[in-house]
Amino acid sequence: MRALVAEDHTLLREGLIQLLELNGITVTAAVADEPHLRQALRRDDFDIAVLDVRLPPTGTDEGLRAALEIRAERPGLPVLVLSQYVEQLYARELLASAGSGVGYLLKDRVNRVADFVDAVRRVAAGGTVMDPEVVSRLLGRREDVLATLTPRERETLQLMASGRSNAAIAAQMVVTESAVGKNVAAVFAKLGLEVSGDDHRRVLAVLTYLQQS
C-alpha cells in the first residue's frame, strides 16, 4: 500500500512517515502546505491520502478543501483526515463527497499505533472510519429525531456511523447479527431512510441526514 502524507508540523509529519513505513505502507510523498498538496494529489502513485485539515498558507481549511476538490474529480479517492478539533461542517462535507473511502480522526485520540494503521487500511479499502467523538457530535445535532430511538437502536446507529459492519456491531454489543439487523431496520424506519445493502452508503445517508438543519 502507498500513502500520501500532508502535515505542516515537521515532527508529526516525520512521525507519520516512520509509523506508516514501519507497518508496510510506503509513503510516496510528504508535503507541508497546500500548493504542494495539490500537486501531489494529481499524481497516481498513492492509494490513500492522510492529511491535516489545516495547512499553510492560512492554516484554516486548505487541506480538506484540496481533498474535497480532488474527490469531486476522482470519486472514491481514499482520504483519511487528521484534525485537532471536531469540525462538524468538514466531517459532513467529507462524508457527502462522491465515492467511498473516507475517515476523520482526532489527533489527540490517535494514541494506539495499531488502531491508526487499521484505520488507514480500512479507508484505503473503501471503508468509513469516524472518530467516536466526531460521531457523537454529529448525532447530537438531531436529538429530536434520535429521541424516538431505543437505547439499543441509538447504540446501533452510533456504531454503524463509526463504520462497523453488522458482525462487528454484534460483537461490540454482545448480541446476535439477527438482533443487529432488526435494530438497523428499526433505525432506518424511524429516520425515514431507505435500507441499503451498501454499508458505506448507509453510513453516508445516516450522517448526512443527521447533519441537515
Cβ distance 85 to 61 under 8 Å?
no
Query: Which pLDDT belongs to residue 148?
Result: 82
Q: Where in the chain are the domains? A: 2-131, 141-211
Query: Which pLDDT belongs to residue 83?
Result: 86
Q: Does CATH number 1.10.10.10 belong to domain 141-211? A: yes
Q: Does CATH number 3.40.50.2300 belong to domain 2-131? A: yes
Query: Which pLDDT belongs to residue 213?
Result: 40
Query: Which pLDDT belongs to residue 129?
Result: 83
pLDDT tens for the chain, 213 residues: list them: 999 999 999 999 999 999 999 999 999 999 999 999 999 999 999 999 999 988 999 888 888 888 888 888 888 899 999 988 766 666 677 776 656 788 888 887 677 788 899 999 989 998 888 777 776 666 665 556 677 889 998 888 878 766 677 898 999 999 999 999 898 888 877 776 655 555 555 665 566 555 544
The reply to whether the predicted model has a pTM over 0.85 is no
Query: Which pLDDT belongs to residue 90?
Result: 67
